[in-house]
A and B are shown apart, each in its own frame.
Chain A
Amino acid sequence: MAEDVAEQWTDEAGRRGVALSSPGAWLLHALVSPASLLVVALLVHVAGRIAAFCMPIKLDSFYYTISAYRLWRAGAIFEDLIPDKPPGQALLTGWVYHLWPGEPSRLAMIPVESAFMLAAYGVFWWLARRLFGSPLAAGLTLFFVIAHNHYNGLETITDGFNLGENYLMLPTLLAVAAHLTIASPIKRGLARGLAMGVALSIKQASVGLAAAFLLHGLLSSIRSKTYRQAGVAGGLTVIGIGLAWSPMLVFLGLHGWLGDHLRELAALSGEHAAIMPIAWPPWHNLVPLVPLAWWIVVGAVVRLTSKRAGAVGKSRGSEGWLVGFLLCWLAIEAVGVWSMTKPGTHYYQQVVSPMALLAGLAIAALRSDTGRRWAASERETTWRWLGATTATLALLAAMPVLAAGSMRVYKFDPRVEVVEFAQWQATWSPSRAADHLPQRAKP
């Protein structure tokens, strides 16, 4: 057989073998190339947006869209604020109605939301590439995109379009990128604070990441005895948050709503959270995380077996430091998801980023080990099997999003959108968005 195949290799140990014969090799290499993976990621994004936008139930997307539309109109009133959410998302998105050529509808939010999400994918890819290199970054970005679109495209209690979590991705990743890669405490603190401020102005759920920064910063400063640097970075983070909040506070203050809205926010925040019974999440909620969990398990086992430090690219800390931060962040977000009183799948979006970065770290450890001491044949065999299983698990995670997208696309009707928006406008006020909460229901 061997004489029929042109490509042959000889590894470091002198062993000889036969390379993949075409056309198999060509297709496989094409499918796993970073460019192909990113194209697939974009395809999943489009399917996810269709699935989320064309969902049969339309609730939260209208809440946030109507609020954004009204707050950017002249003559906005206090009732245009959603009582249990900061107005950051509305202020970041409602401007689009001043540029939108047609009648107001949710359609205007499609490019805005997609721009935020695509920018978030870009930041994630940049961060992952910096930490783990290009090929891994492309794979991780695909899993990141699948998981986010799965969770909001297949939301179970409301619709997944124009949700706060979709806008949170970008600022939280920018904050994490600043935390992980900027060495200067001044620049790091300020950049982290500005990004966290934007995130906190969109939704209170990002407070989990702020807690992770605080805890990790505190513990690593105690360990490395860099109290002063940590103090400077922490202080500038607070200043950054204040700076990022200032436009929102000025806006509220100028309208005379500052005190009332902050009081309502303080009273209603956390109304969706409680101490819940400990139970395993439904299987369908874990499916998008399975490819990431698979890499984490493989990487962790290899790491424990080899007892060698993995290679982390341009991070400002060691592998252990990075693992510490990601585990801390993941644990806080997991507790946040567990404490939610409603079984919404979009809450799981908060878990995706730390899981994805942990998966990258785990698989980077394997790559570092294989690169160091494995023969070509062993390397090829291991990566081939990991590739085959990962591809199948990724398919399992992506299929529901693609199915929902391809099914719901037939329900898209721009004329209905305009009519529905007008009906919501006429019959509903954003101030009623929190009426279902116990704190609000009390007189």
Chain B
Amino acid sequence: MKERGWLVTTVLLGGVLAAPAALPVAVLHGKGEFTIAEWLPGFLAVWLAAVGLFISTSGPTWEGVPAWCRGIAALSLGALAPLAAMSNQHNTQADLALLAMAAAVVLHLRAQPSRWQTAGVLLTAVACGLDATAFILPLGWFWSGLRSKTGHAQAWTLVFAGLGGLVIGRLVGLPMLSGYRIQQSAYAIHRDVAVILAVLALGLAGYAQARFPRRPTHPGWWLPGWAAVSVCVLLAGVLGFAVNVRLAVLGLWWLMPNGLAELAALLQGRLTDDRITRTVGLLVALAIVALAVPGLLAWRGGMLMGLYLLPGGG
């Protein structure tokens, strides 16, 4: 299946996977009742984010990464992202934050510089206003910009936009974080992290493997910085700070295709013909399948809930 086939698959299957995945949190917030108003924003946000991930990873930064790797990463975003936000108190706000951040990333990666300077920056500010965890995107740019000779201006622009978004969000009365109550955050965060363990492993490997150019004119030059900040923020979340897990790991989702591509090459013997390296690759693949089990079980729970909610299902 080529690029177009995987795009169609991502669009169709992404929706199919996201629909039941968005159910548990919607029913939870509806106090046991399903309402379309609780479900629809979450469903649309992750569906669009998944499609955005697939489209935005087709540029030169992912040169050599097969379409199926990008498709799998996008589908996993559609299936798991809603389940990694089960404990958010303000779930619609969290969904909008995810959508705004994903859209900002897509624009930064795909649009021409003159365009991203308006829409991309604006969406970054909106994402930060909706959830302070989104500030990892400007911080990632800033980190990358520190190493670059010419990227300072872009980095500072985004940092100020993010800060502006944070201030405006507070001024209009939005809570700073869309997520957890402080004293209950640790267990909830860990439950959310457990759903995306396979994404973490593949994203971490992709992050360690990805070699993006430092030139700021290149669309993906800031990705390693974003991923680096994502890892730091995720570790803070694991320690109990009430960050939004799925926003924190979004950068690793964008690097997951690189990890998948390398693992596939390792298994197929394209990287090396050494038997031991390939054996290790096989064991790693099995471990990642095992790590995916909590996420698959959570998605299955959403699907069963969906079957129950269908007319005649109960």
> Which A367-394 residues have a C-beta within 8 angstroms of B?
369-370, 374-375, 377-378, 381-382, 384-389, 391-393
Q: Which of B27-35, B87-95, B223-231 faces chain A?
A: B223-231
What A residues does B210 contact at CB under 8 A?
24
Bound Cα distance A385, B184 (Å): 33
Q: Provide the B192-220 mask, 1 if CB < 8 A to any CB of A, else 0.
A: 01100100111011011111111100100
A57 contacts the other chain (CB 8 A): no
A52 CA to B269 CA, complexed, in Å = 48
- Complex contact A407–B186 (CB within 8 A): yes
Q: Is the CB of B287 within 8 A of A400?
A: no
CB pair B271–A378 under 8 Å, yes or no, is: yes
By a CB distance below 8 angstroms, the chain B residues around A391 are 201, 204
Contact of B214 with A4 in the complex, beta carbons under 8 Å:
yes
Smallest Cβ-Cβ distance to A387: which chain B residue: B208
Report chain A residues within 8 Å CB of B281. Answer: 385
A377 to B262, CA, bound (A): 12
A406 and B213 within 8 A (CB): no
Whole-angstrom distance between the alpha carbons of A398 and B189 in the complex?
13
Contacting residues, chain A, for B187 (C-beta < 8 A): 403, 407
Q: Write the chain A residue with the least CB distance to B147.
A: A22
Beta-carbon nearest neighbor of B281 in chain A? A385
Whether A27 contacts B209 in the complex (CB less than 8 A), given A4-B215, A377-B271, comes out as no
- How many interface contacts (CB-CB < 8 Å) are there between A and B? 150
Residue of A nearest to B208 (CB): A384
Q: A59 an interface residue at 8 Å Cβ cutoff? A: no
Give the interface segment out of B17-25, B123-131, B272-280: B272-280
Partner of A388, one of B204, B238, B283: B204
Contact in complex: A27, B228 (CB < 8 Å): yes
Residue of B nearest to A7 (CB): B211
A298 at the binding interface (Cβ < 8 Å):
yes
| Distance (whole angstroms) from the CB of A44 to the closest CB of chain B | 10
Q: Contacts A294-B287, A407-B187 given; indicate if A388 touches B228 (C-beta within 8 A).
A: no
Interface size on B, residues (CB 8 A): 58
In the complex, how many angstroms separate the beta carbon of A393 from the nearest chain B beta carbon?
A: 7
Kindly report which residue of chain B lies nearest to residue A6, judged by CB atoms.
Answer: B214
A254 proximal to B (CB < 8 A): no
Choose one: A18, A301, A384, A400; the contact of B279 (CB below 8 Å): A301
Given A294-B287, A378-B274, A402 contacting B240 (CB threshold 8 A)? yes
Q: A219 interface residue, CB < 8 Å from B?
A: no
Contact, CB under 8 Å: A306 / B276: yes
In the complex, chain B residues whose CB is within 8 Å of the CB of A402: 186, 190, 238-240
Contact partner of B190 (CB less than 8 A), chosen from A386, A388, A403, is A403
Query: B133 contacts which chain A residues (CB < 8 A)?
Result: none
Residues in chain B near residue A21, CB distance under 8 A: 211-214, 224
Q: Is A275 part of the binding interface, using a Cβ–Cβ cutoff of 8 Å?
A: no
CB of A399 closer than 8 Å to a CB of B: yes
Interface 0/1 of A400-434, CB less than 8 Å to B: 10111011001000000000000000000000000
A22 touches B259 (CB 8 A): no
Q: Which residues of chain A are within 8 angstroms of B186 by Cβ–Cβ distance? A: 402-404, 406-407
In chain A, positions 26-45 with a C-beta closer than 8 Å to chain B are 26-28, 31, 43
A396 to B200, CA, bound (A): 11
Kindly state the separation between the CA atoms of A407 and B214 in the bound complex, as whole angstroms: 42
Within the complex, the shortest CB–CB distance from B182 to chain A, in Å, comes to 9
- B186: shortest Cβ distance to chain A, in Å? 4
Judged by a CB distance under 8 angstroms, whether B266 is at the interface is yes
Contact A5 B228 (CB under 8 A): no
Distance in angstroms between the alpha carbons of A114 and B190 in the assembled complex: 26
Give the residue of A23, A370, A393, A410 whose beta carbon is less than 8 angstroms from that of B225. Answer: A23
Give residues 156-186 of B contacting A (CB, 8 Å).
183-186
B13 CB within 8 Å of chain A: no
Q: Which residues of B contact A381 (CB under 8 A)?
A: 209, 262, 266, 271-272, 277
Contact of A1 among B63, B205, B208, B283 (CB under 8 A): B63
A297 in the interface, Cβ–Cβ < 8 Å? yes
Q: Provide the residues of chain A in CB contact with B218, threshold 8 Å.
A: 4
**Which residues of A in the span 48-79 have a Cβ within 8 Å of any Cβ on B?**
none
Interface residues of A in 274-304 (CB under 8 A from B): 294, 297-298, 301-302
- Contact flag A389-B271 (CB < 8 Å), given A22-B224, A369-B276, A407-B186: no
A395 contacts partner chain B, Cβ-Cβ < 8 Å: yes
Judging by beta carbons under 8 Å apart, are A1 and B211 in contact? yes
- A20 at the A/B interface (Cβ < 8 Å)? yes
Q: Does A224 contact B (CB under 8 A)?
A: no
Q: Is B56 an interface residue (CB 8 A)?
A: no
**Distance in angstroms between the alpha carbons of A393 and B238 in the assembled complex:** 13
Q: Which residues of chain A come closer than 8 Å to B201, judged between CB atoms?
A: 388-389, 391-392
Given contacts A384-B205, A389-B287, contact A406 B239 (CB under 8 A): yes
B259 contacts across to A, CB distance below 8 A: 388
Find residues 270-298 in chain B having any chain A CB closer than 8 Å to their own CB: 271-272, 274-277, 279-281, 283-284, 287-288, 291
Chain B nearest CB, measured from A110 CB (Å): 21
Query: CB of B263 within 8 A of chain A?
Result: yes
Which residue in A4, A389, A393 is a CB contact (below 8 Å) of B213? A4
Closest 9 CB pairs of A and B: A4-B213, A406-B240, A403-B186, A388-B205, A24-B224, A388-B204, A399-B190, A392-B201, A406-B186
A/B interface sample: 24 pairs, CB < 8 A: A4-B213, A4-B214, A5-B211, A5-B213, A5-B214, A19-B211, A21-B211, A21-B224, A23-B224, A24-B210, A27-B231, A301-B283, A370-B276, A378-B271, A378-B272, A385-B263, A385-B280, A385-B284, A388-B204, A389-B287, A393-B287, A395-B193, A399-B238, A400-B190
For the A-B complex with A20-B208, A377-B272, A388-B205 known, give 11 more contacts whose Cβ atoms are closer than 8 Å.
A21-B211, A21-B212, A21-B224, A381-B209, A381-B266, A385-B280, A388-B201, A391-B204, A392-B200, A392-B201, A402-B190
> Which residues of A pack against B, CB within 8 Å?
1, 4-5, 18-24, 26-28, 31, 43, 294, 297-298, 301-302, 305-306, 366, 369-370, 374-375, 377-378, 381-382, 384-389, 391-393, 395-396, 398-400, 402-404, 406-407, 410
Binding site for A on B (CB under 8 A): 60, 63, 143-144, 146-147, 183-187, 189-190, 193-194, 197, 200-202, 204-205, 207-215, 218, 224-225, 227-228, 231-232, 238-240, 259, 262-263, 266, 271-272, 274-277, 279-281, 283-284, 287-288, 291
